[in-house]
Amino acid sequence: MTGGAGTGVAMTGVDDVGSRVERLIAAFPDARGRARAEELVRLVVGLYGEGLERIAAELARRDPKVLQELADDDLIGGLLLVHGLHPLDVDARIQRALDKVRPYLGSHAGGVEYLGVDEDGVAHLRLAGTCNGCPSSTVTVRSALEGAIEQAAPEVAAIDVEGVTAPDTSDRALLQIGRPPSEAGIRSPDATWTDLPPLGPPTNRPTVLELDGLPIVVCAVRGTLYAYRDACGVCDASLATARQEQGRLVCLSCGTAYDLQLAGRAVDDHGRHLEPLPLISDSHGTKVAISKAVAP
């Protein structure tokens, strides 16, 4: 069996490969063919899993720090998760993942507290505050949390968050993302994660660009990126020429100032605000969630 070179298929991670395999199996025209393909996949995964288990055991015996450093790589960490060999337990992985998004959540929802995973595989979180005057806060928080936990703990069956007002839906409960643990990751029906193109070194000027057909404005405050829909909450003008100063973004069309670190809330009128978009950064770059609530 050969490696990936020359196959003509570029995969970027475990989830990408898993999704591709599922699509190929589903394309078989008959149940017998699908069953044989699934058995083939199980045999190959089992073979590589057994070898990976031996490697992990030897690394842990010689120097546990080496295995931990390897697990920090997204691809290797994903493979270790698939085979139940990751050196960190689910609690530690979720805590580390939340640490990555906590600065963003802190500006929108007052921070998030991890309460643990129960016997049914449900991860419980509690928000320490609310995003006053921001109707998109529920989607924002949900998307950010789902994206973080999806990568860190694919075995989690569902997420329950205290302190978020449930969206107006009648067919599903708040943040109950049910799926069998064997499925690859948690997918939010409310948002699409899109790669943010390189913006260069952080500056004190806003950057306006278009993602998935939606104009957005990206600002850096003390090295932390914040993204919003490119529209003033008062006059709906573009913020391409807005002035950024001391963590605030000032629309030059109407003079309204928004606090970038408080969900884009207007400084002098808390009933006005920008539309926030969650960001998650990892070793591959930064992703922005374009939710249905703010999509064009």
Q: Where are the domains of the chain?
A: 14-82, 90-190, 194-291
Class at the top of the CATH hierarchy for domain 90-190: alpha beta
Q: Provide mean pLDDT across the span 157-183.
A: 46
Q: Which of 94, 70, 82, 100 has the alpha carbon at shortest distance from 15?
A: 82
Total residue count of the chain as it appears in this document = 296
Same fold, 90-190 and 194-291: no
CA 251 – CA 233 distance, rounded (Å): 9
DSSP code, position 279: E
CA 219 – CA 244 distance, rounded (Å): 8
Q: Which of 280, 211, 208 has the alpha carbon at shortest distance from 249?
A: 208
Give residue 234's Cα distance to chain centre.
30
Q: Provide mean pLDDT across the span 67-90.
A: 79
**Residue 36 in this model has a pLDDT that exceeds 70:** yes
Please give the share of the chain, as a percent, with pLDDT higher than 90: 11
For domain 194-291, give the fold. Answer: Rieske Iron-sulfur Protein (2.102.10)
Q: Which of 185, 191, 187 has the alpha carbon at shortest distance from 287?
A: 191
Better-predicted residue by pLDDT, 96 or 231 = 231
Q: What strands, in cross-sheet order, belong to the sheet with 257-259? A: 243-245, 248-250, 257-259, 265-266
